[in-house]
Amino acid sequence: MPDEEYLSLFLELQTWDPPKYIQEGFQYKFAGYDKKNRPIWIAAVGKYSIKEVLKRGDADQLERYGLKALIWIIKSIVAKSPAENQSGTVVLIGNFEGYSMFQLLHPPTMAFRYKMAGKYKELMNSIFGVGIAVNMNRISAWLVNLFRPVLSYLDRVEFFGSDESKWRPRLEEIFENAEIPSFDGNHRHFPPIILQS
């Protein structure tokens, strides 16, 4: 799209509200900053049902919702100055608990995932610092391996199974031993952007 169309879409998404069932079914939230001042965003990815959205004919609504999430993520990055967050990147943490074969073996869902992965891979590659995936099972691991050739930033993801004693220390390191927040909810508030004079 031309820059003017991107700007128009960006402004439109500021006030756009997605269908309530998408907001409730695809929760993600801001969880603070790490010691490198990278914003931390967490999501209960295993609960996401793209199949449900596609059955309702709302693929475009889900894509817009994803774009709005990217806008929130970018806002949280630029809320810190380049001197504070020198990498200009984000930490993404996904909980894959509940991810099932039914989510994987739905061809329209796979097609949608692949389309979105290809469409936004350059943007994701530029803002993705580190990812942590917890409660991975064989199905979710197979999905990640399927997308590895397309999404180079997956090399920056650390994968953990369901053994909390393995992944909890890593999350405690990210959150600097503070309480690890719940993956549920849609909290997106972070300190306002202050323009430097």
pLDDT digits (tens, 9 = 90+) for 16-43: 999 999 999 999 999 999 999 999 999 9
To which H or E segment does residue 103 belong? helix 101-104
The Cα–Cα gap between 37 and 58 comes to 35
What percent of the chain is predicted at pLDDT more than 90?
Answer: 58
Query: Backbone phi, then psi, for 46, in 5-degree steps?
Result: -65, -20
- What are the C-alpha distances in Å from 23 to residues 67, 86, 107, 115? 13, 32, 23, 21
Q: What is the pLDDT of residue 153?
A: 87
Better-scored residue on pLDDT, 78 or 103: 78
Whole-number pLDDT of residue 178: 78
**Mean pLDDT over the full length of the chain:** 87
Half-sphere exposure of 102 (CA within 13 A, CB side): 8
CA distances from 187 to 12, 75, 182 (A): 21, 14, 11
